Amino acid sequence: MIPNELMGLLEEEERERVERAAVRTRTDTGSVQDCYDDRGRLLSTLASVLGRLGETRADLVGARLELRRSEQRWSDAAQDITSMSNYRMKAELRAEQAEAELAEERRLREEAVDLLTATGTLETSPGLPDIPRIREIAKRHGYAIGVHGSLLRDCDLMAVPWTEEACTPYDLLLVLASELPAIVIGDCEGKPHGRLAWTLQVDSWEKPIDISVLPKLKEENE
């Protein structure tokens, strides 16, 4: 038989072994739970990282799209600058041509003056009619007067009906002849686009007036 003291020692040792096993079991159980908790935290962190990665990718796509738009705007601006440069070059070329034409016109005028001076006709050439007075008379009868030509040989005038109450071209001719006064030289001459032309000679030492009158347009119901 096992002595009581030995039996007590065995029982005490068994209890300690059982307790140690229980502690190990609780410890292992806690370690497993900790592992599960760590795994959950890792998965949550991974999901957060993947979410931020998706946002970063979206931002990158938006940045690339904005970069392409910016490059397109720069390309459009470069084309606009090129177009403006071409337009400026054309404008400068037209300005040079206009200056050259003006210089040529001045040269021709100077040659005409020199020729008239050399032939002694400049001082004896008749003066110009009173164009402001002619305009005032025509305005009262519904016409506007324009001047064209060199005004060296004669005075070329254009009369354009300007108001609804404008008189007929022939009536305008009679009014001018009466109020200047002047005489009508020759007959009426038809011109392109329905213009009617007469020559007037003012009763003084002045150049003849070649006046071309545009007729009034007919009303639609006439």
Q: What is the pLDDT of residues 83-136, one digit of tens each?
A: 888 888 888 888 888 888 878 877 776 676 666 555 555 445 577 888 899 999
29 part of a folded domain: no
98 part of a folded domain: no
Q: Decide if 180 contacts 155 (C-beta within 8 A).
A: no
Q: Which residue has the tokens 């007036």?
A: 209
> Residue 175: is it exposed, middle or buried by C-beta count within 10 angstroms (0-12/13-18/19+)?
middle
Is the full-model pTM beyond 0.75?
A: no
85 part of a folded domain: no
196 part of a folded domain: yes
Nearest to 133 by CA among 155, 162, 101: 155
Query: What would the pLDDT profile of 23-35 be if each residue is shown by its tens digit?
Result: 666 555 555 566 6
Q: Give me the phi and psi of 138, to 5 degrees please.
A: -65, -35
How many CB atoms are closer than 10 A to CB 151?
A: 12
CATH number at residue 204: 3.30.460.10
Whole-number percent of the chain with pLDDT over 70: 74
168 part of a folded domain: yes
Which letter, b or e, does each residue of 58-83 get, where b requires 16 or more Cβ atoms within 10 Å of its Cβ?
Answer: eeeeeeeeeeeeeeeeeeeeeeeeee
45 part of a folded domain: no
Q: Which residue has the tokens 């079991």?
A: 25
The helix or strand, by DSSP H or E, that contains position 84, with its residue range, turns out to be helix 4-119
pLDDT category of residue 153 using cuts at 50, 70 and 90: confident
**Rounded-to-integer distance, Cα 204 and Cα 130, Å:** 11
160 part of a folded domain: yes
Average pLDDT, the chain: 79
**Rounded-to-integer distance, Cα 86 and Cα 104, Å:** 27
First to last CA, the chain: 154
Report the domain count for the chain. 1
173 part of a folded domain: yes
Q: Which domain holds residue 142?
A: 131-213
Q: Decide if 200 contacts 133 (C-beta within 8 A).
A: no
103 or 200, higher pLDDT: 200
Query: What would the pLDDT profile of 57-89 be if each residue is shown by its tens digit?
Result: 888 888 888 888 888 888 888 888 888 888 888
